[in-house]
């Protein structure tokens, strides 16, 4: 019995030493009900999947704008289903939308650095498979909530790290950012519990010619203060940035939960932002909640 346990332990240790690698699309994509699921990366901790959402009239020969979302959960938990509703809506408006899995502590026993690595991999995978996905590789956005928002920002502003073995001639930088109360800051920033922010142990810095970004926060969210610094840095660098706040709302207010108007309000403003960048056309098809007092306030950097 002890020998068997030792053999298992050695096998698991060897497996964990394997390398992660992007997995190309195998064959033609054939969506069912405008949806598809693919493995975009193999890792020692298991395969990572990406949920794909397509417009009703989508064809592989299209060159549509696209967005990939990263879920929140403090790099510990969470699931891509968080962005299912938002992805379905943006697909109905003509984009190809995706919600990617990435390695997290509870499921994969990994740290935030792996989460950041996988977010870069997901953006690169979308570009590598642009022809099969029917997307324009020069109109690829990244978005996310909380820690997933941190992942999206990392893909845009880190230049010192790339996942091992990937083709770096294919950029992992998105063309725009859609950020819902992102967990962003620097290594010196503190959380409300006065702990170092673990998400930014790897280098990143706001630079000129960065992708335009929109951010949403509740005013009662402790992560708003460091995000305001990011917004100021974006503006100082000459990058387009828009910050919207919801009075009295806490972290996660934007999620699609029964009884809250904020999902529709933030998604509608996201639509307006993307239309202004040329990624969508026409007026939003999601209506503001009738009679709701939920109003976003735009802050000036």
Q: Looking up tokens 């920033």, which residue turns up?
A: 189
Q: Where are the alpha helices (DSSP H) in 70-146?
A: 84-92, 105-108, 112-128, 130-133
Which pair of structure tokens corresponds to residue 215?
Answer: 């951010």
Paired sense of beta strands 96-100 and 21-22, if any: unpaired
Give the DSSP letter string of 140-190.
EEEEEETHHHHHHHHHHH--S---TTS-TTS----S-EEEES-----TT-B
Predicted pLDDT of residue 1 = 44
Q: CA 57, 62, 66, 70: dihedral to nearest 10 degrees?
A: 80
Which pair of structure tokens corresponds to residue 2?
Answer: 């002890």
- Of 51, 266, 70, the closest CA to residue 155 belongs to 70
Half-sphere exposure of 110 (CA within 13 A, CB side): 19
Predicted pLDDT of residue 202 = 55
Q: Do the Cβ atoms of 98 and 13 come closer than 8 Å?
A: no
pTM of the predicted model as reported, rounded to 2 decimal places: 0.90
| Strand, coil or helix: 265 | helix
Is residue 287 in some structural domain?
yes
Is residue 211 in some structural domain?
yes
Domain ranges, residue 289: 31-299
Is residue 272 in some structural domain?
yes
Predicted pLDDT of residue 11 = 36
Predicted pLDDT of residue 291 = 84
Go through the chain and tell me how many residues it has. 301
Predicted pLDDT of residue 26 = 80
Question: What is residue 65's DSSP assignment?
Answer: E
Q: Do the Cβ atoms of 12 and 5 come closer than 8 Å?
A: no
End-to-end CA distance of the chain: 64
Q: Do the Cβ atoms of 94 and 58 come closer than 8 Å?
A: no
Q: Which residues lie closer than 8 Å to 66 by C-beta, 6 or more apart?
A: 95, 96, 97, 98, 126, 133, 135, 136, 139, 140, 141
Is residue 7 in some structural domain?
no
Predicted pLDDT of residue 41 = 97
The pLDDT tens digits along the chain (301 residues) read 444 344 333 333 434 456 899 998 888 899 999 999 999 999 999 999 999 999 999 999 999 999 999 999 999 999 999 999 999 999 999 999 999 999 999 999 999 999 999 999 999 999 999 999 999 999 999 999 999 999 999 999 998 889 999 999 999 999 999 999 999 864 445 444 444 444 445 578 999 999 999 999 999 999 999 999 999 999 999 999 999 999 999 999 999 988 789 999 999 999 999 999 999 999 999 998 888 889 999 999 8
Is residue 6 in some structural domain?
no
Predicted pLDDT of residue 13 = 40
Q: Looking up tokens 């699609």, which residue turns up?
A: 256
Predicted pLDDT of residue 185 = 66
Is residue 10 in some structural domain?
no
Is residue 145 in some structural domain?
yes
Predicted pLDDT of residue 126 = 98
CATH number of the CATH domain containing 44: 3.40.50.1820
- Of 179, 124, 120, the closest CA to residue 148 belongs to 179
Domain count across the chain: 1
Tell me how crowded residue 80 is: count the other CB atoms within 10 A of its CB.
Answer: 22
Is residue 82 in some structural domain?
yes
């Amino acid at each position: 019995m002890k020998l068997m346990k030792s053999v298992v332990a050695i096998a698991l240790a060897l497996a964990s030493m394997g390398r992660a690698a992007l997995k190309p699309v195998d064959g033609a994509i054939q969506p069912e009900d405008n949806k598809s699921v693919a493995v975009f990366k193999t890792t020692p901790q298991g395969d990572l999947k990406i949920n794909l959402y397509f417009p009703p009239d989508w064809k592989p020969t299209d060159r549509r704008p696209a967005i990939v979302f990263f879920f929140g959960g403090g790099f510990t938990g969470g699931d891509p289903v968080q962005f299912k509703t938002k992805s379905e809506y943006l697909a109905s408006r003509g984009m190809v939308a995706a919600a990617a899995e990435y390695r997290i502590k509870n499921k994969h026993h990994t740290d935030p650095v792996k989460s950041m690595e996988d977010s870069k991999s997901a953006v690169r995978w979308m570009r590598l498979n642009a022809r099969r996905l029917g997307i324009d590789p020069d109109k690829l956005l990244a978005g996310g909530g909380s820690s997933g928002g941190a992942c999206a920002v990392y893909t845009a502003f880190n230049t010192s790290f790339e996942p091992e073995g990937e083709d770096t001639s294919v950029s992992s930088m998105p063309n725009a950012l859609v950020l819902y109360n992102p967990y962003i800051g620097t290594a010196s920033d503190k959380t409300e519990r006065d702990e170092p922010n673990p998400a930014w142990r790897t280098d990143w810095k706001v630079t000129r010619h960065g992708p335009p970004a929109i951010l949403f926060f509740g005013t009662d969210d402790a992560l708003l203060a460091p995000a305001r610094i990011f917004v100021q840095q974006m503006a100082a660098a000459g990058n387009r940035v828009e910050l919207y706040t919801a009075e009295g709302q806490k972290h996660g207010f934007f999620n699609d939960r029964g009884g809250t108007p904020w999902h529709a309000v933030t998604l509608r403003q996201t639509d307006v932002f993307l239309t202004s960048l040329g990624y969508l056309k026409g007026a939003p098809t999601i209506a503001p909640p009738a009679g709701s007092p939920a109003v976003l306030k735009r802050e000036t950097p």
